[in-house]
Protein backbone atom coordinates (compact mmCIF):
# COMPACT_ATOMS: atom_id res chain seq x y z
CA UNK A 1 0.00 0.00 0.00
CA UNK A 2 2.95 2.40 -0.38
CA UNK A 3 1.38 4.19 -3.35
CA UNK A 4 -1.63 5.17 -1.23
CA UNK A 5 0.36 6.43 1.74
CA UNK A 6 2.64 8.52 -0.50
CA UNK A 7 -0.35 10.73 -1.33
CA UNK A 8 -1.04 11.42 2.34
CA UNK A 9 0.48 14.34 4.18
CA UNK A 10 2.87 13.67 7.06
CA UNK A 11 0.12 14.47 9.59
CA UNK A 12 -2.35 12.10 7.92
CA UNK A 13 0.30 9.41 7.66
CA UNK A 14 0.99 9.77 11.40
CA UNK A 15 -2.74 9.55 12.15
CA UNK A 16 -3.00 6.42 10.02
CA UNK A 17 -0.05 4.84 11.84
CA UNK A 18 -1.63 5.72 15.18
CA UNK A 19 -4.91 4.11 14.15
CA UNK A 20 -3.16 0.97 12.93
CA UNK A 21 -1.06 0.71 16.08
CA UNK A 22 -4.12 1.29 18.24
CA UNK A 23 -5.98 -1.51 16.44
CA UNK A 24 -3.02 -3.84 16.86
CA UNK A 25 -2.71 -2.89 20.52
CA UNK A 26 -6.37 -3.75 21.09
CA UNK A 27 -5.96 -7.08 19.33
CA UNK A 28 -2.56 -7.99 20.78
CA UNK A 29 -1.85 -5.96 23.93
CA UNK A 30 1.87 -5.56 24.59
CA UNK A 31 1.46 -6.59 28.22
CA UNK A 32 -0.35 -9.84 27.37
CA UNK A 33 1.03 -11.58 24.25
CA UNK A 34 -1.09 -14.36 22.75
CA UNK A 35 -0.45 -17.57 24.66
CA UNK A 36 0.13 -20.99 23.16
CA UNK A 37 -2.46 -22.44 25.47
CA UNK A 38 -6.18 -22.90 25.36
CA UNK A 39 -8.66 -23.13 28.22
CA UNK A 40 -9.72 -26.56 29.31
CA UNK A 41 -13.23 -27.70 28.57
CA UNK A 42 -15.78 -26.41 31.00
CA UNK A 43 -14.51 -22.84 31.07
CA UNK A 44 -11.42 -20.84 31.77
CA UNK A 45 -10.56 -20.74 35.46
CA UNK A 46 -7.23 -18.95 35.18
CA UNK A 47 -3.73 -19.64 33.93
CA UNK A 48 -3.22 -22.66 36.20
CA UNK A 49 -6.09 -24.44 34.43
CA UNK A 50 -4.67 -24.08 30.93
CA UNK A 51 -3.25 -26.94 28.89
CA UNK A 52 -0.88 -26.75 25.91
CA UNK A 53 -2.27 -26.66 22.38
CA UNK A 54 0.45 -28.95 21.06
CA UNK A 55 -0.27 -32.64 21.47
CA UNK A 56 2.52 -34.78 22.86
CA UNK A 57 2.42 -38.49 22.03
CA UNK A 58 2.07 -40.93 24.91
CA UNK A 59 5.16 -42.77 26.02
CA UNK A 60 4.87 -46.25 24.51
CA UNK A 61 8.04 -47.90 25.79
CA UNK A 62 9.56 -46.84 29.06
CA UNK A 63 8.50 -45.88 32.53
CA UNK A 64 4.95 -44.84 33.20
CA UNK A 65 4.57 -41.67 35.16
CA UNK A 66 3.80 -42.55 38.71
CA UNK A 67 4.68 -46.23 38.32
CA UNK A 68 5.90 -48.04 41.38
CA UNK A 69 9.32 -49.77 41.46
CA UNK A 70 10.19 -48.51 37.97
CA UNK A 71 8.00 -51.08 36.23
CA UNK A 72 8.27 -51.14 32.47
CA UNK A 73 5.28 -51.48 30.22
CA UNK A 74 4.77 -52.01 26.51
CA UNK A 75 1.86 -51.41 24.19
CA UNK A 76 0.17 -54.77 23.63
CA UNK A 77 1.00 -56.37 20.31
CA UNK A 78 3.88 -54.09 19.37
CA UNK A 79 6.52 -56.78 19.76
CA UNK A 80 4.39 -59.28 17.83
CA UNK A 81 3.96 -56.84 14.93
CA UNK A 82 7.70 -56.14 14.89
CA UNK A 83 8.61 -59.85 14.84
CA UNK A 84 6.04 -60.53 12.09
CA UNK A 85 7.49 -57.73 9.92
CA UNK A 86 11.01 -58.98 10.54
CA UNK A 87 10.02 -62.54 9.57
CA UNK A 88 8.24 -61.27 6.45
CA UNK A 89 11.33 -59.36 5.35
CA UNK A 90 13.51 -62.42 5.94
CA UNK A 91 11.16 -64.60 3.85
CA UNK A 92 11.12 -62.00 1.07
CA UNK A 93 14.93 -61.77 1.02
CA UNK A 94 15.27 -65.57 0.91
CA UNK A 95 12.69 -65.80 -1.92
CA UNK A 96 14.53 -63.18 -3.99
CA UNK A 97 17.87 -64.88 -3.32
CA UNK A 98 16.49 -68.29 -4.37
CA UNK A 99 14.95 -66.87 -7.57
CA UNK A 100 18.26 -65.24 -8.51
CA UNK A 101 20.15 -68.48 -7.83
CA UNK A 102 17.87 -70.57 -10.04
DSSP string spanning 22-89? HHHHHHS-TTSPPPSEEEPTT----GGGEEESS--PPP-SEEPTT-GGG-EE--TTHHHHHHHHHHHH
pLDDT at 70 over 50: no
Q: Under a CB-based contact definition with an 8 Å cutoff, are residues 46 and 35 in contact?
A: no
Element (H, E) at 20: helix 10-27
Residue 81 confidence class, pLDDT cut points 50, 70, 90? confident
pLDDT at 43: 55
Domain residue ranges in the chain:
1-29
Amino acid sequence: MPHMTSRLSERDRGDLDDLLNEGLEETFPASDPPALTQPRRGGDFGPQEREPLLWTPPQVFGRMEGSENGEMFEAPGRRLIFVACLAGCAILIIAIWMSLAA
